Structure 1
């Protein structure tokens, strides 16, 4: 009886693969582990970089350091910081702060030379076009407002303002008096169109939100949205001014932020030459500045 049991167990073990009693391959091709076989996981060795001590960076003499580029100096400062924080010695920490002091003095020297450069080249200085004194700023604001108003009145017969609205739009009732003020002061034709009563208008002009205020050029397909929702009168004035300048070709898209009276000045993106490859002044790969001069 015992012999029969032993034979049966031997047959069972010999047919283990068919019974699904073999575990997955663990050690490579052809080496399997049994179902009840246990092998402790191999210890994970720590990262060698973490075991190694932080190396002491080589700090060059000052005569050589002054020739280094700022990115290279920044990397050296970072290396010295890590080293000093690791060893925590007075000399290592002092070397770190010596490098920081060098970087500080170099930055201050750059700022000083910058002031001299801006005085020598006022076209690069914002203060030449943007005074900080209160009285001068008020005078500049009034001057810009006069330029905008004169320009808009000059083009009043060429353009019109249209506000698209709905009868159920409460914001439209707030925006409409602002457009009426524009009509009274600028002499433009201003009209409103209900896109619920004339649903084809919204699809034709791409209007979904009300109120939407649009500049339309008479006798052409040119039009441009200048306000979506409620817009203040000064902002509406400025947006209409910029839109007319763009539609008439007086400015390029890159000059959209160029305000009234800022043409060819510090705040004109194209004052000192092209800034994009689409600019017509980019000829044969050379950047030709205004007046035919190379910048």
Structure 2
């Protein structure tokens, strides 16, 4: 009886010792192991997580204060990670960053509207109106400037129209020049490059049709204003711009800048010493 009691006591002590030893890790980490449906990560998964870690997304306030380059870098990382993982949490991270970039862009747009009104010299609205009445008035001003200058210089300049036989393009351009001459009363001289090789060489004409603007009593002041078949409006604009350049009223760097635009938003030399 005594022996049985001693044996049972020893077994009981051994069981309690084993239970105490195994209870310690359970106490420290009570939900750990297969009992809690935790599947140990495979070695490949651990390597993948180490190689492509999940990007850390800051708070909305921190995102809004980030530099655009850092924000773009984080946006790229969260997008790539979302496509890689294809999980709701990863996709949500990407759209959190994208929402911050959207709000930052919206703030910039709002500030642009404020600054443009506060600094009229940086605003293109006066030189490039977006309303129908504004466009109509700007078009009227441009046409008036062209007409006035062409009438003023009709006796100071002439046009040399270079053609060649059997040139269908020359026929079409000649009709456009006839319309220009009828409206402006400018003198136009037609030159056949096959019959006047000296003129062809002097004005560097290697094809037809070509229209050249030349200043009277100043044979060295000339420039082409049309090559090939051009529209009447383009021809008038080129003659207007080139006449102003040859007269010294504008710089070649301002070739497409009309009189109303000089010194304004579209003047490339505004504020420079030229």
TM-score range, shorter chain: 0.7 to 0.9
Larger CA Rg, structure 1 vs 2: 2
1:260 offset after TM fit, Å? 4.6
Write the distance in 2 (CA, Å) between the matches of 1:190 and 1:228: 16
TM-score normalised by length of structure 2: 0.76
Q: Which residue of 2 aligns with 1:235?
A: 234
Query: 1:261 is paired with a residue of what secondary structure?
Result: helix
Q: Which residue of 2 aligns with 1:150?
A: 148
Write the distance in 2 (CA, Å) between the matches of 1:57 and 1:226: 60
Q: Is the 8 A contact 1:148 1:260 kept in 2?
A: no
Write the distance in 2 (CA, Å) between the matches of 1:51 and 1:116: 47
Q: Which residue of 1 aligns with 2:194?
A: 196
1:136 offset after TM fit, Å? 3.0
Q: Is the 8 A contact 1:56 1:83 kept in 2?
A: yes
Query: 1:222 is paired with a residue of what secondary structure?
Result: strand
Pick aligned residue for 2:109 from 105, 108, 111 = 111
Q: Which residue of 2 aligns with 1:265?
A: 264
Q: 1:93 to 1:229 in 2, by over 3 A?
A: same
Write the distance in 1 (CA, Å) between the matches of 2:207 and 2:119: 47
Write the distance in 2 (CA, Å) between the matches of 1:102 and 1:165: 63
1:109 offset after TM fit, Å? 0.8
Write the distance in 1 (CA, Å) between the matches of 2:144 and 2:268: 22
Query: 2:173 is paired with a residue of what secondary structure?
Result: helix
Q: Which structure 1 segments of 5+ residues have no match? A: 1-48, 275-280, 283-295
TM-score normalised by length of structure 1: 0.71
Q: Which residue of 1 aligns with 2:20?
A: none
Q: Which residue of 1 aligns with 2:40?
A: none
Write the distance in 1 (CA, Å) between the matches of 2:225 and 2:177: 12
1:1-295 alignment runs, 5 A limit: 53-218=51-216, 219-271=218-270, 273-274=271-272, 281=273
The number of equivalent residue pairs is 227
Query: 2:189 is paired with a residue of what secondary structure?
Result: strand
Give deviations 1:225-253, integer Å, cap 9, x for gaps. Answer: 11111111111110100111122222222
Give deviations 1:82-120, integer Å, cap 9, x for gaps. Answer: 112222332221111000000001101111111111111
Q: 1:51 to 1:201 in 2, by over 3 A?
A: farther
Write the distance in 1 (CA, Å) between the matches of 2:176 and 2:108: 49
Q: Is the 8 A contact 1:54 1:86 kept in 2?
A: no
Q: Is the 8 A contact 2:158 2:214 kept in 1?
A: yes
Q: Is the 8 A contact 1:54 1:82 kept in 2?
A: no
Query: 1:214 is paired with a residue of what secondary structure?
Result: strand
Give deviations 1:46-83, integer Å, cap 9, x for gaps. Answer: xxx99963122233334433332212210111011111
Write the distance in 1 (CA, Å) between the matches of 2:209 and 2:254: 27
Write the distance in 2 (CA, Å) between the matches of 1:248 and 1:69: 50
Q: 1:95 to 1:135 in 2, by over 3 A?
A: same
1:131 offset after TM fit, Å? 2.1
Q: 1:194 to 1:67 in 2, by over 3 A?
A: same
Write the distance in 1 (CA, Å) between the matches of 2:237 and 2:114: 35
Write the distance in 2 (CA, Å) between the matches of 1:224 and 1:266: 28
